[in-house]
Every structure is written in structure tokens, then in C-alpha cells.
Amino acid sequence: MIWLIRRFGGLVGMVAVVAFFAINLPQTFLTLQNWLNISQQVSMLAVVAATMTVVMVMGDFDLSVGSMASLSGVVVATLFLQGWPIPAAVAAALAVGLIGGLFNGIVVSIVGILPFVATLATLTIFSGLAFLISDGRTIFGRDIPAAFGDFARGGPPIGAVEDRIIVLPNLVIVAAVVVLLIWVVLEQTSYGRRLYAIGGNSEAARLAGVAVRPLRLTAFAFTGVGSALAGLMYASRVASANPTQGDGLMLTAIAAVFLGMTLTRDGQPRVLATLAGVLVLGVLDNGLTQMRVDSYVREVLVGSIILAAVGLSALGRRGIAWR
């Protein structure tokens, strides 16, 4: 019985959240359109959280993802200002993400600074660069090519309701591809299994021939590129870029990974579990907004729910530790 609660408590909690909104919002919540909305709203978060899972598998963190997302949005918009074509600008922004991620990796694995400290520092650096490049302003309007903004609004049609065509948003497709890719990397390749081994016992892994340093270094490239991609998705969705628009992603992404960890059998980060965590956060946000819960109250509620879920899971695993 206790075992059942431990194993499936998190899942039951998630179903309860969905059921709660389905009952309280009978007309709107369980509709296809609403779920497409939710999936589009969480697509950026899903990309960042999936790549965050890659470093958290090793027991590390990347706090710089939010400011990297802002930076990549600002970079792509600035390049548009200078007349770059869309593919080149997008590629350049992703390259910035790759370089930033590798830089994080070098600082963490070669220099040996704790990830918390190292990425806190690069968070500030990336954020400062975003302000420098954009001169602190929001870039929008005619400077952004229409095709770039249209991408987020478009998508392949999947049906029609009362003359309105319903599309599967492109952003959702991008997020799904990223999650699938990370799933393959983490679960189906020797690279991913070695990352899990580092998280399990890094000294044992080293002595068993795992090249810990290069692996840690490259794993941070995933968060770099992932957050740059999320920044582009965001910029496309709002057809503008400002140097702070990605900042909220970091804490929510880490929260999503932790929520996901409460679902896995061994408490490990797993990318599909992370996806479930992302969806829960998305559903909470969407449902509470529809119920017109004040946005400040919403933050208090979401924070409390994260604390309760992760806390209960920790208690279930090892009991209360008073001393």
C-alpha cells in the first residue's frame, strides 16, 4: 500500500489536478483547443527542461538557461535589423547557444567550478550581453521578418471546428522533436548511459573508464543550444525580442525536472518524466488563469504545489528525518 503511494502518488496527484480543473471548468478545460493552447504555452519550457534534464542526470545544474534564451532572441532580432536572412540569423543564434553551453562546460569540468556558481556567473554575463547588444530596448515591429513571426502562429491543420481550422502549432512540433531527441540521447545511446553513471557515482564511473570531464563538458552544450532554441521560439511567438524575456524559464525548468523526478521509480531525472512535469506546470497555469485566480496568488499556489509534491516524494523515499 505504502509502496503504491510512493510509486504512483505523483501520478495520482497529476490526474487529480486535471480532474479538478475539468470539474470546475466544464465548458472550456477539456477541449482540444485548450490542450493545444496549453501545449503551445509550454513548448519553450519543454525544450529548456528537456535539455536541463541532460545536465541534471549528472547531478549538475545550469542556471544560465533563462538569460541564454533572452540573449539568443536578442541576437536573432539584431541580425534581422542588419538584414540577415532568417536561416542565417537563426543558425547564428543557435551557434551563440552552443558556444555559451560549451563555455559553461569548460568552466564546470575543466576549471572545476561548482555548476551552481559557474552558471550563476554566466547567467549574469549572458544577461549583460543581451542588454549590450539590444541597448536595453525591445526589438519589434517591421524589423522582424513576417515569416519569422508567422512560424509560431502556423502549423499543419489537423481538423476544423465550426468553420475554424485547428492547426497543430509548429512550436509544439519543435518541442516534441527536441524531447524525442533528448530521449534517444539519454536512454538509447552509450553517451547518455555514461551521463547517468556520472550522476550515480562519479568516482566509480571514472575508475570504470568513463571519461568524466569531456562528457560533463559536452553535456552543457545541450542546455546551451536548447535554451537558445527556446529563446528563438519565444521571439517568434511574440514577434519581438527584449533582453529579459527568457528569464523566467530557468526556475520553472528546474522545477519541472524535479517534479518529473518524483514520478520515476528510482528518483532519477528522466526526460519523459520531465515532460510530465512541464505539462503539470502548464495545466496549473492554464487552469488557474481560466478560473481567474489572481496572478500573485497563482504564484503562491504553484510554488506550494511544487514544494508539496517534491517534499512528499522525499518523505516517501526515506521517511521524516528529525535529526
Partner 1 sequence: MTQLTLHQISRRFGAVQALGDVSLTIGSGEVHALMGENGAGKSTLIRILAGLDRPDTGRIEIDGTELALGSPTAVRQAGLRFIHQELHAVRGLSIAENMHLDHPYPLRFGLVNWRALHGAAAAALARLGLERLDPSHPMTDLGPGDQMLVRIAATLIGGGDRPPWLYVMDEPTAALTNAESERLFDVIHGLVGQGAGVLYVSHRMPEVLRLSRRVTVLRDGRKVSTRPISETGQQRIIEEMTGRDVGNLFPDRRTAGSGPIVLKAEGLSARGLRSANFEVRAGQILGVAGVAGSGRGALLRAIGGGVAITSGRVSVDGTKVGSSPSRAWRQGISYVPRERRSEGLLLGRAITENVTLPHLSALTRARLFLNKRRQRRLTEEIGRSVRLKAASVSQSCAELSGGNQQKVLFARALAGNPKVLLLDEPTRGVDIGARSEIYRLIRRLSDDGLAIVMASSDLPELIGLSDRIAVMRDGRLAETLEAEGLTEAALLARFYHLEEEEGVA
Residues lying near partner 1 in the complex (CB under 8 A):
184, 188-191, 193-194, 196-197, 200-201, 203-211, 266
CB of 20 or CB of 196, closer to partner 1: 196
CB-based burial of residue 55 (10 Å sphere; 0-12 exposed, 13-18 middle, 19+ buried)? buried
Minimum distance from residue 2 beta carbon to partner 1 (Å): 18
Minimum distance from residue 185 beta carbon to partner 1 (Å): 9
CB of 162 or CB of 203, closer to partner 1: 203
Identify residue 47 by its one-letter amino acid code: V
CB of 162 or CB of 266, closer to partner 1: 266
> Look-up: residue for cell 545511446?
189
Q: How far is CA 19 from CA 16, 119, 285, in A?
A: 5, 38, 15
Minimum distance from residue 190 beta carbon to partner 1 (Å): 4
Minimum distance from residue 317 beta carbon to partner 1 (Å): 11
Minimum distance from residue 228 beta carbon to partner 1 (Å): 24
Minimum distance from residue 265 beta carbon to partner 1 (Å): 10
Minimum distance from residue 109 beta carbon to partner 1 (Å): 15
CB of 212 or CB of 251, closer to partner 1: 212
C-alpha cell at 155: 502549423
Cβ–Cβ under 8 Å, residues 80 and 193: no
Cβ–Cβ under 8 Å, residues 284 and 101: no
Minimum distance from residue 252 beta carbon to partner 1 (Å): 27
Beta bridge partners of 160: 165
Phi, psi at 83, each rounded to 5°: 85, 15
CB of 190 or CB of 295, closer to partner 1: 190
CB of 201 or CB of 304, closer to partner 1: 201
C-beta contacts of 35-42 below 8 A and 24+ residues apart: 36/166, 36/168, 36/169, 36/172, 37/286, 38/279, 38/282, 38/283, 38/286, 39/169, 39/172, 39/175, 39/282, 40/169, 40/171, 40/172, 41/282, 41/285, 41/286, 42/175, 42/278, 42/279, 42/281, 42/282
CB of 147 or CB of 208, closer to partner 1: 208
Alpha helical stretches, state H, 82-166: 86-105, 115-134, 146-153
CB of 158 or CB of 208, closer to partner 1: 208
> Look-up: residue for cell 504512483?
8
Question: What gap in Å lies between CA 214 and CA 102, rounded to an integer?
Answer: 11
